[in-house]
Amino acid sequence: MHPDALTIGNLMGQAKAKKLLGRALANQTMAHAYLFRGPTGVGKKRAARTLAALCNCLAPEHGDACAVCASCVKFAANSHPDLLEVEPVKGVIKIDQVRDLQKALRFAPHEAKVRFVLLPDVHLTMQRKETANSLLKTLEEPPADTILVLTADESGKVLPTILSRCQVIPFFPLPYDEVASTLVAADGMDLDEATALARLAEGSLGRARLLHDKGLLAERASIAATLCRCPAGSLASIGPILAMADQAAARKDDLPELLALLAIWFRDLILHQMGAPGAHLASPDLAALLHAADARWSLPRLLRNLELIAAARRQLARNCRATLVCEVLFFALL
C-alpha cells in the first residue's frame, strides 16, 4: 500500500481515536458532528479525510478503505466534491463562509454516501460568538448523510456552544520513533536529525516539519558549534559572536523558539554530565559536540546558562531590542 494512501492502516498512532471511530462505524452509530481535539501536527485533519474516504469507499476491506476505488482516489487527491473544507481567511472562518456552507448543504451530496465537512482549528478560526452561533443549527441538525468534523488544539479554547454539540475524539502526541522514521522515509532526513526533531517537537510531525522548514534546528547547531569554538574573553571571539547575534535577532518572531531549542541543548549537556544515557537526550544531532562542551562548561556553568537563556526570553517578551539581547546572551554563555 502506498504510504500516502488515505487508509486507517496508514494513520500514525492515535489508537484511541481509531477505536472510538471504528466502533461507531461498525455499529452504525456515527455522530453528526465530531471535534477532533489534540496537539497540532499529529494527524487530525488527515484522520478526518481518512474517515471520509473510508465511509465512502466502494470496496472496503477488513474495515479499512481500499485506496484504489474511484471514490478513494478522489479523496486521496483532495478532489472529492463531497469533502467540503472551510478554508480560514486570514486565520478566521467568517460568518459568510458559514452561510455559504449552509446553502451548499441544502442540496444532496453529489456522489458520496456520506458527505463530510471539515472546519479546521476552531480554537483559532471560530472565536467570534456570532460565527459560532450561526453554525449551531447545522451542528445540531446537520442534513442527512452529512458529518461535520471540527479540529482544535488541546490547549486552545473552544467556545462551549460548539463543544457541547460535538462528540470529542481525543488525539495524542505521536510515538517519537514513528515521527522520526516518517521524517527519514518521506522527507529524506538523516536519522539523527529526524530523531532530534521528533523529540524537540514532542511527537508532533507537523511541528517537526515546521522546525525543519524554518531552519531552526540547523541554526541551533551552528550556534552551538560557535559557542563551543569561541573562548570567553578572547578578541577572536567578538566577530563571530556579534555576527551570530545579528543573524539570530533577524529571526524576529521565531527567536524565542530558537532560544528554547538552545536551552534544550544545554539541558541535554546537564543530563549528560549527570550521567544520563544518550538515548534520553533530545539532541542526538549535536552528539559530536558533547566532548567539546563537557570540556568547556562545568555543571554550575551549564545551570547558569539555562538561567541566562530564560532571562533573555523574558526580555524578548518585554519587547527589549532583540540584537542587544542576543549579543549580551551569547557573550555571557561563553
Interface residues toward Zn ion, by CB under 5 A: 57, 65-66, 69, 72
Q: How far is the CB of 174 from Zn ion (least distance, A)?
A: 25
Nearer to Zn ion, 66 or 197 (CB): 66
Nearer to Zn ion, 34 or 75 (CB): 75
Choose among 46, 2, 59, 56: nearest CA to 25: 56
Choose among 258, 229, 230: nearest CA to 331: 230
Q: How far is the CB of 85 from Zn ion (least distance, A)?
A: 20
Q: How far is the CB of 58 from Zn ion (least distance, A)?
A: 5
CA-CA distance, 34 to 132, in Å (whole number)?
A: 15
**C-alpha R_g of the chain:** 24
For residue 111, give the 3-state DSSP assignment. Answer: coil
Confirm if 224 and 328 have CB atoms less than 8 A apart: no
Q: How far is the CB of 65 from Zn ion (least distance, A)?
A: 5
Nearer to Zn ion, 68 or 260 (CB): 68
Q: How far is the CB of 59 from Zn ion (least distance, A)?
A: 5
The CA–CA distances, whole Å, from 90 to 39, 93, 125, 157 equal: 21, 8, 9, 19
Choose among 127, 167, 226: nearest CA to 33: 167
Nearer to Zn ion, 59 or 218 (CB): 59
Nearer to Zn ion, 57 or 258 (CB): 57
